Chains A and B, each alone.
Chain A
Amino acid sequence: MNDTLQYLLSGNEAIALGCREAGVNLGSGYPGTPSTEILETIAKQAPEIYVQWSPNEKVGLEVAVGASASGARAISTQKHVGLNVAADPLMNVAYTGVGGGLLIVSADDPELHSSQNEQDNRHYARFAKIPMLEPASSQECKDYIAEGMALSEQYDTPVLFRVTTRISHSKGVVRAAEVKPHAVPGFKKRPDKWVMLPATGRARHHVVEERMQALTRLSESSSLNPIEWGDRRVGVITSGAAYVQTKEVLPEASVLKLGLSYPLPIEKIRAFAAEVDRLLVVEELDPFIEEQLRAAGISCEGKSATGLFGELTPGRLGGGLSRLGIIAQEQVATCSAEAQVTPRPPVMCAGCPHRSVFFDLKKHRGNVFGDIGCYTLGALPPLRTMDTCLDMGASLGMAIGSSKVSKDGRSTFAVIGDSTFLHSGMTGLLDAAYNQANITVIILDNRITAMTGGQEHPHTGHTLMGEEAPKVDFEQLVRALGIEHVTKVWNHDLAALDSAVSAAEAFEGPSVIIAEAPCALMPKRAHEQAYEVDTEACTACQRCARTGCPAITLAGLPAEDGRPQALIDPKVCTGCGLCAQVCCDHAIRHVPASENVEVVS
C-alpha cells in the first residue's frame, strides 16, 4: 500500500487501508462473514495497528470502547448478528460518547449468503441514536473511515459503519491517500461521562438528544449526501449497495445519495422531492428510509417496487421499476430460468473431524440441539442429525430448557464448536452445571474458527497478529464450571467416540465430551495415507456413502445384486479412516504406500 498507485481492493480491504490512513490505533472483533477480512487485512498489511480477535463481539466492542476512552482511534468489526451480541455496550456507549474516534462496523448479509437471518442493522443507528455511514464502493469504504473518525470525535459519538456483503466482498479500484498518524493521549477520568449511573445516564440522555439535533443539521449540509441532478421525472433517495444498482438501472435519474444515512437530511429530501415529479426510495430489506419520509409527511414510493427480501440485483430492481411504469419491460435485465441440474450445496470436507460425531449421534437417536459453524452442515443430508440452529451458543440453553420439560425418553445433546463454545457457550454450560440439567454437551474441538476461514481463538495458541498465546484447557475449564463427567475423545476413533457418548448419555446430570481432532483444511491440510475399496470384499452395502464424505462416490463396479460398489477418490481422501471403520465387510483398506498421489487443492 503506497500512496501513488491504484489498487483493486475489496470493500473490507479498503476499510483496512482506510484505518491505516486515518491513524486507527486499535481494531477488535469476532470473525463473521462478511466482516472477517477487515481485521485480517490490517494484521497482514498494517502491522502498526494493534488488532485482536476477542472471544465474542460484546467483548470486542468493549475493547474498542476502552481504547477510544483512552484517546485512541478504534474500530470494532462484526457481522450483523454479531452486533446483537454487542448490543449492550452499543446502547450504552451511545450515551457515554467517545474519547478517540470510534467506528462500529456492521457487515450485513442481505440474501443470507452465509447467515441465519437477513436482519437490517440500519435500525441500530436509530435505536442507539448514533450516526450511520454507508459506503457504496471500495473507494468510499476507505474514504469514509477518516470521515467517520472525524465525525465521531467532533460530535462525541460512536458511528455505525454499515456495509453489506456486496460492498464488503466486491472489489473495485481504490486510490490511496496520505497516512495521518493519531497520537493517543491516554485515559482521562471523567465520571460524568464514563460512569453510567441513573444520575449521570439521565444527564447523558439529554446530551444524546442534543447531539441528534446537531447531527441532523450536519446531515442536511454534509457533502456525504450529494444530489446528482439528472432527469427530474424521477428522483431517487438511496444509499450503499442500493445506490450502485440505482445507477446501473436508472443512470439518467436524479439521485440523492445518502452516505451519512442516519439521521436523515429530511429538509434536503423535502426540497429534492419538490423538484422531481416522482420520489422513489431504493433500499434493500426494510423500509428504513421510506417509513421516516412518510412520518415526515413526504410521499414516496419504495417497497412496492423493491420488496422486503434479499439483495437488489439489476434485474430485481428493474422488474420493480417496470411494475411502477418507470422503465419499460424491455429494459429489464432478464434471463431464462436456470437449468434444472443437480444442486451442489456445501458439504463437510473429506476428513472433516465433525463427520464421525454426527454419524455416531444418528445411532443414539436423541434430540440434538445444534450451534453455528461448519458443523451446522450436520443438519443436512445424509447425516441429518442436528435438529436446531438458532444463534451462537444456543445449543446449550435450548438443550437445558428442552431437557427440563421433555418426557419423550430421548437423550438431550448439545453440539457446539470450540470457537462458538468460547464465544457464548461457557455461560450456557455454567447454567447446565448450576441447574443440573440432564444433558450431554459435545464440544467439537477442531482447534480453529473454521467456518469463517480459519481464525485464531483462545484455544489455538496464537493471536491474530501471530503472537504465541496461552491455550485455554477445555477439560480444566469445564470442570471448573462444575461438570463432573468429562471425557476427551479422538474423533477419528469411532468406537471410542461411541462408548464415550453412551457413557455420557447414561450419566444422570450434565456431562461433557470434548471431541477433538484438527480441522481437515486449516491451519494445514490433512493428508494421511489414503484408503481404497477392496472390490473383492465390497458387497455394495453403501454404508460408507452414508457418511457423506465427498471422497466417496457410488461409481464403482456393480456387485452381485447389481448395486454399485463405492469408489474412493485417492486425490480427495485425507486418510481419516471413518469409512474403513463403518464398513461392514472390512473392504476398505489403505492404498499401498508405493502409490503416491498428488493432492489437489
Chain B
Amino acid sequence: MNGRRAGTGQRPYGVLIVGVGGQGVIVASDIIAEAAMNSGFDVKKSEVHGMSQRGGTVVSHVRFGPQVWSSMIPEGQADALIAFEQLEALRAMHQLHANGVLITSCQRIVPPSVTTSKQAEYPQDVLQQVQAQYADAQVVDAPAEARALGSEKMASVVFVGALSRHLGFEEQAWRRAITHRVPKGTEAVNWQAFLRGQALAS
C-alpha cells in the first residue's frame, strides 16, 4: 500500500465485498471487520441476508476508522472492492472511489436468467470492461489457489489475503480474526490460504 495505514484518516475506510450466494462473502467480511477491530479501530459492517442464500447477489460493507457512524459505505466512496465473481465486479464498480483498490475473481457464474430468458446474456468481455475502467484492477483466481490447498471453500480467505496488503494491519490481527471465524480444525490451512492471497497481491 502507499502512504499511511488504511483507516487512520478522518473518513472511515470502506471495503465493499460482492459475490454470489454461497461463495463466502459474509465470512470474508467478518474476517476483515474483526481484523480491523483487533487493530484498534471502530468498525461497522452491514449486509442483507434473506434471500441471498438462493443464488442471488450478495453485498457486504465493512467500514473502519477512529469512529464509524453509518454501516453502509456512502455511495461511490468504497476504498476497496473485492468481487468474488466477474459480473458482480461490473455491477458494483460504480460504488468504488476513483482511486480505489479493485480485486476481482476471474470466476464466471452464469445467472439462471441467462439460461431461461432470451434477453439476458453473460458478456464474454466482462474482465476487459472492468479493466477498461480500472487499469490497476487485480484479477485473482482465488478458487484455483484454494483448490491447490485442498478445498475451494477457502477462496474467500485467499481474497482477504489479497486485500490485506492494502490495509497495513499487523499479522497478529489477521491471524486472530481468521482463527476466530473459520471452522475449527481448518485454522492452519486457512492461514496458508491467506498467505497465498497475500503473495498473489505482491
Most buried by A among B74, B77, B113, B115: B115
Pick from A345, A377, A553: contact of B110, CB below 8 A.
Answer: A553
Contact, CB under 8 Å: B74 / A248: yes
The residues of A that contact B192 with a CB separation of less than 8 Å are: none
**Total chain B interface residues with beta-carbon distance under 8 A:** 55
Contact, CB under 8 Å: A169 / B47: yes
Contact, CB under 8 Å: A166 / B72: yes
The residues of B that contact A344 with a CB separation of less than 8 Å are: 20, 55-57, 87-88, 91, 111, 113
Q: Is B196 an interface residue (CB 8 A)?
A: no
Shortest distance between the CB of B137 and any CB in chain A (Å): 14
Pick from B71, B115, B116: contact of A244, CB below 8 A.
Answer: B71
Pick from A173, A314, A554: contact of B43, CB below 8 A.
Answer: A173
Q: Is A546 an interface residue (CB 8 A)?
A: yes
Q: Is B90 an interface residue (CB 8 A)?
A: yes
Q: Is B121 an interface residue (CB 8 A)?
A: yes
CB closest residue in chain A, given B61: A170
Prevailing SS type, chain A contact patch: loop
Contact, CB under 8 Å: A346 / B54: yes
User: Could you give, for residues 55-82 of chain B, a 1 whenever the CB lies within 8 Å of some chain A CB and a 0 otherwise?
Assistant: 1110000000000111110111100000
Q: Is B112 an interface residue (CB 8 A)?
A: yes
Residues of A6-38 at the interface with B, using a CB-CB cut-off of 8 Å, are 6, 8, 33-34
Using CB atoms and an 8 Å cutoff, list the residues of chain A in contact with chain B. 6, 8, 33-34, 113-114, 165-166, 169-173, 244-245, 247-248, 251, 313-315, 318, 333-339, 341-349, 374, 377, 381-382, 451, 453, 521, 545-546, 548-550, 552-555, 598, 600-601
Pick from A165, A338, A343, A545: contact of B94, CB below 8 A.
Answer: A338
Residues of B30-71 at the interface with A, using a CB-CB cut-off of 8 Å, are 30, 33-34, 37, 42-57, 68-71
Contact, CB under 8 Å: B55 / A245: no
A170-B46, A347-B56 known, 6 other contacts, Cβ within 8 Å: A171-B45, A245-B69, A336-B76, A344-B57, A344-B91, A549-B112
The residues of A that contact B49 with a CB separation of less than 8 Å are: 33-34, 113-114, 169, 453
CB closest residue in chain A, given B38: A8
CB closest residue in chain A, given B37: A8
Shortest distance between the CB of B35 and any CB in chain A (Å): 10
Contact, CB under 8 Å: A598 / B75: no
A412 to B56, CA, bound (A): 31
Q: Is B120 an interface residue (CB 8 A)?
A: yes
The residues of B that contact A349 with a CB separation of less than 8 Å are: 54-55
Contact, CB under 8 Å: B116 / A381: yes
Contact, CB under 8 Å: B114 / A553: yes
A521 to B55, CA, bound (A): 12
The residues of A that contact B51 with a CB separation of less than 8 Å are: 114, 346, 451
The residues of B that contact A170 with a CB separation of less than 8 Å are: 44-46, 71
The residues of A that contact B160 with a CB separation of less than 8 Å are: none
Contact, CB under 8 Å: B87 / A341: yes
Q: Is B168 an interface residue (CB 8 A)?
A: no
A377 to B111, CA, bound (A): 15
The residues of A that contact B30 with a CB separation of less than 8 Å are: 8, 171
Contact, CB under 8 Å: A601 / B116: no
A170 to B94, CA, bound (A): 22
Contact, CB under 8 Å: B70 / A342: no
CB closest residue in chain B, given A546: B116
Residue pairs across A and B with Cβ atoms less than 8 A apart, 29 shown, are: A8-B30, A8-B45, A114-B50, A170-B71, A171-B30, A172-B71, A245-B69, A248-B70, A314-B72, A314-B75, A318-B74, A335-B75, A339-B94, A341-B91, A343-B111, A344-B55, A344-B56, A344-B57, A344-B87, A345-B113, A349-B55, A381-B116, A453-B49, A521-B53, A545-B115, A545-B116, A554-B115, A555-B110, A600-B22
Known A-B contacts A248-B69, A381-B116; the reply to A315 vs B75 at CB < 8 A is: yes
Contact, CB under 8 Å: B70 / A346: no
A251 to B67, CA, bound (A): 11
Q: Is B153 an interface residue (CB 8 A)?
A: yes
Q: Is B93 an interface residue (CB 8 A)?
A: yes
Residues of B123-151 at the interface with A, using a CB-CB cut-off of 8 Å, are 123, 129, 151
Pick from A334, A347, A381: contact of B55, CB below 8 A.
Answer: A347
Pick from A33, A169, A251, A333: contact of B75, CB below 8 A.
Answer: A333
CB closest residue in chain A, given B181: A8
The residues of A that contact B56 with a CB separation of less than 8 Å are: 344-347
Contact, CB under 8 Å: A171 / B111: no
The residues of B that contact A248 with a CB separation of less than 8 Å are: 69-70, 74
Shortest distance between the CB of A66 and any CB in chain B (Å): 31
A25 to B55, CA, bound (A): 38
Contact, CB under 8 Å: A341 / B22: no
Contact, CB under 8 Å: A173 / B114: no
CB closest residue in chain A, given B117: A381
A170 to B29, CA, bound (A): 12
Contact, CB under 8 Å: A336 / B94: yes
A419 to B113, CA, bound (A): 29
A597 to B72, CA, bound (A): 39
The residues of B that contact A453 with a CB separation of less than 8 Å are: 49, 53
A190 to B46, CA, bound (A): 46
The residues of B that contact A346 with a CB separation of less than 8 Å are: 21, 51-56
Contact, CB under 8 Å: A598 / B94: no
* CB-based closest 6 A-B pairs: A114-B50, A335-B76, A333-B74, A315-B75, A346-B54, A346-B56
A549 to B115, CA, bound (A): 9
Shortest distance between the CB of B88 and any CB in chain A (Å): 8
The residues of A that contact B48 with a CB separation of less than 8 Å are: 113-114, 165, 169
Shortest distance between the CB of B42 and any CB in chain A (Å): 6
The residues of A that contact B179 with a CB separation of less than 8 Å are: none
The residues of B that contact A347 with a CB separation of less than 8 Å are: 54-56, 112
Contact, CB under 8 Å: A313 / B72: yes
A8 to B115, CA, bound (A): 40
Pick from B42, B77, B88, B90: contact of A173, CB below 8 A.
Answer: B42
The residues of B that contact A113 with a CB separation of less than 8 Å are: 48-50
Shortest distance between the CB of A571 and any CB in chain B (Å): 9
Contact, CB under 8 Å: B72 / A6: no
CB closest residue in chain A, given B114: A342
The residues of A that contact B93 with a CB separation of less than 8 Å are: 339
A170 to B42, CA, bound (A): 13
Residues of B88-109 at the interface with A, using a CB-CB cut-off of 8 Å, are 88, 90-91, 93-95
Shortest distance between the CB of B71 and any CB in chain A (Å): 4
The residues of A that contact B43 with a CB separation of less than 8 Å are: 8, 171-173
CB closest residue in chain A, given B87: A341
